[in-house]
Chain A
């Protein structure tokens, strides 16, 4: 990774032309669409993007239109990282043979939680093990939203989805969210981080850091989905903020395995009284509505307890010299 940190202002970001162009078909208040626009503000030169099947793949590429102002390829759902492997291998050898311009080209693979946690995990693990030079960006909206809001292994406990509906016998999803970034860190990544679009400057900086790594890097971006979460489209940024403030989704980065909290989460670690209860994050979202009935309030307490435990564990991982 470069030792000189990239400095930029809001003015620079506004001045930089968009690479994910308007006219796409995303819903009002779409978190992932904002994420895409922001992450492409961090590109540093020639870049090729590959994307797994999902909402964001669909909305930006409806033939004969495109929202992509850079070279982009989609092939299937489970293989964004395998695409990146092939692209990177081709760029490397063709540059060496003089078949393409002698310049570095960044490779970004994008996938939702389905294309990362579930169907895409094998290809991702394989590509990272092989050490391809690419940045994998997960936009996590905690479910299969493209196919109509089904549960994924990223869907949090208690959430109601169309395949984990809150019924009279079962109160929504019973299983915990899979710790994907821990799984990726176990691959000995040089750079892995979490981010949310509310803290846009932090997000853009982390994308750039991931691109600067020579080898694989992983970025987990939290991206609210108003349709899937049954939340107000106007509140996407509010939930992106509340997730961090309640420590449901703390933001941090790990450089060569050494973890550190990013400023918004660090502030809470230094001033614990600023930490908001999970109730503040959960209660406005329709997917958790059933938890606020007398029968299910214990689940909210359990979510609070699990969130606190995960936060404490993260604090230890960040202070430990040997994480």
Chain B
């Protein structure tokens, strides 16, 4: 299967109640495949073909407020059109699951993979998990429902896959049985709230227990609502790790501790920090370097929100030079999103390593293994000299 098909298959196995979506490349295969399941009666799901991504995420949010398990998928302009509702969904504490086939943002229009779309939603209050390959995409969707719907989390979650590189590339994917997935994910549970009458009721729209959802909260309460989202993120931080372990027992597969996934990092002196499929390519390069006794490693950020700052700091304790690779830009900023996050986390480290930023792969530009090799060459030089040559490098660019 390709990554999109793997996602659709996982959604099918999770007994989702409502899927509302609008097609956009490179996510389209997900909703096409899922439509086939609906058309053939293979799922018990209401599939709402909305007239826009804005309505797709709205319908998922509202269905989730009634108590349904919901899923949608998007990318690029579609995710940007959802922007307003991403904040509303996390603020309303409705656990929608969203698959993002990461794609560049216009202009110029470009259908290929980079992470500008989801990095632009960094502060939307969603849990952000990125997969390295189709197998992880499948596994992460199953985990996503369980993380998001945990009553102490109750936050929406997105699973990012690199557009085309993962979404459209055929790979072997091992699947679980329907029964195992059903048992693992379970039924949706609801947090409880106190009504004006003093009754404790599930947090959902139910005519038997009328609740007002999505009220206006002004200067006197708004801030407390937002602070609670931070608590929910802290709970998610633990839950992601627990579920990663629990899933490993069921499937035999785990992804680091669920937050970060490392490769030959224990004794590494130079390392690359990256998100997504590029980590797979880098593993081959690290293996080659290791044969030459160069101590190179990889740290893949799997969970970007909540950000695993402590894990990252501990994992990079003895590394001398680090390259953070960003598949997005922050024009006018000092480096891009992941770089900022990583360098910020390392500011408190006892021995601060040298951290540089490589912007790469924008608009789907390919980075070949031989090109990527050069980043380790740079790091080797930087580690030797103890001096960074420049903070931000536009990698693989014609200039």
Chain B nearest CB from A228 CB (Å) reads: 20
A317 within 8 Å of B by Cβ? no
Bound-state Cα–Cα, A246 to B51, Å: 38
A122 touching B18 in the complex, CB below 8 Å, given contacts A69-B210, A82-B58, A93-B45? no
Chain B nearest CB from A104 CB (Å) reads: 10
Chain B nearest CB from A119 CB (Å) reads: 10
Interface readout for B99-123 with A: 1 if CB under 8 Å, 0 if not? 0000000000000000000000000
A90 touching B210 in the complex, CB below 8 Å, given contacts A63-B215, A73-B205, A75-B88? no
Q: Are B205 and A76 in contact (CB under 8 A)?
A: no
Q: Are A82 and B62 in contact (CB under 8 A)?
A: yes
A57 touching B216 in the complex, CB below 8 Å, given contacts A86-B20, A89-B48, A92-B46? yes
In the complex, chain A residues 64-105 whose Cβ is within 8 Å of any chain B Cβ: 64, 66, 68-76, 78-79, 81-87, 89-94, 96-97, 99-101, 105
Interface readout for B7-35 with A: 1 if CB under 8 Å, 0 if not? 00000000001101000000000000000
A97 touching B44 in the complex, CB below 8 Å, given contacts A75-B85, A83-B59? yes
Chain B nearest CB from A136 CB (Å) reads: 14
Chain B nearest CB from A308 CB (Å) reads: 37
Q: Are B52 and A71 in contact (CB under 8 A)?
A: no
Chain B nearest CB from A141 CB (Å) reads: 19
Q: Chain B: which residue is nearest A68 at the CB level? A: B212
B334 within 8 Å of A by Cβ? no
Q: Which residues of A contact B213 (CB under 8 A)?
A: 71-74
Q: DSSP class of B's interface residues: helix, strand, loop or mixed?
A: mixed
Q: Which residues of A contact B217 (CB under 8 A)?
A: 63
Q: Which residues of A contact B54 (CB under 8 A)?
A: 78-79, 82, 123
Q: Chain A: which residue is nearest B87 at the CB level? A: A76
Q: Are B207 and A50 in contact (CB under 8 A)?
A: no
Q: Are A90 and B212 in contact (CB under 8 A)?
A: no
Bound-state Cα–Cα, A284 to B59, Å: 43
A72 touching B210 in the complex, CB below 8 Å, given contacts A86-B20, A86-B59? yes
Q: Which residues of B contact A81 (CB under 8 A)?
A: 55
Give the number of residues in A that approach B within 8 Å (Cβ atoms): 48
Bound-state Cα–Cα, A27 to B226, Å: 30
Q: Are B48 and A86 in contact (CB under 8 A)?
A: yes
A86 touching B61 in the complex, CB below 8 Å, given contacts A93-B45, A94-B66, A122-B51? yes
Q: Are A90 and B17 in contact (CB under 8 A)?
A: yes
Q: Are B208 and A75 in contact (CB under 8 A)?
A: no
Q: Are B67 and A87 in contact (CB under 8 A)?
A: no
User: Which of A58, A62, A76, A89 is within 8 Å of B18, CB to CB?
Assistant: A89
Chain A nearest CB from B72 CB (Å) reads: 10
Q: B62, B68, B196, B213: which has the most chain A beta carbons within 10 Å?
A: B62
Bound-state Cα–Cα, A71 to B214, Å: 11
Cross-chain pairs A/B with CB under 8 angstroms, 21 sampled: A61-B216, A63-B218, A63-B221, A70-B210, A71-B207, A74-B213, A75-B85, A78-B54, A83-B58, A84-B62, A85-B59, A86-B58, A86-B65, A94-B66, A94-B67, A94-B68, A122-B52, A123-B54, A126-B50, A126-B51, A126-B55
5 new A-B contacts, CB < 8 A, other than A79-B54, A87-B63, A125-B51, are: A71-B207, A73-B213, A76-B58, A82-B55, A129-B51
Contact surface of B with A, Cβ cutoff 8 Å: 17-18, 20, 44-46, 48-52, 54-55, 58-68, 70, 84-85, 88, 92, 196, 205-218, 221
Contact surface of A with B, Cβ cutoff 8 Å: 46-48, 50, 57-58, 61-64, 66, 68-76, 78-79, 81-87, 89-94, 96-97, 99-101, 105, 122-123, 125-127, 129-130
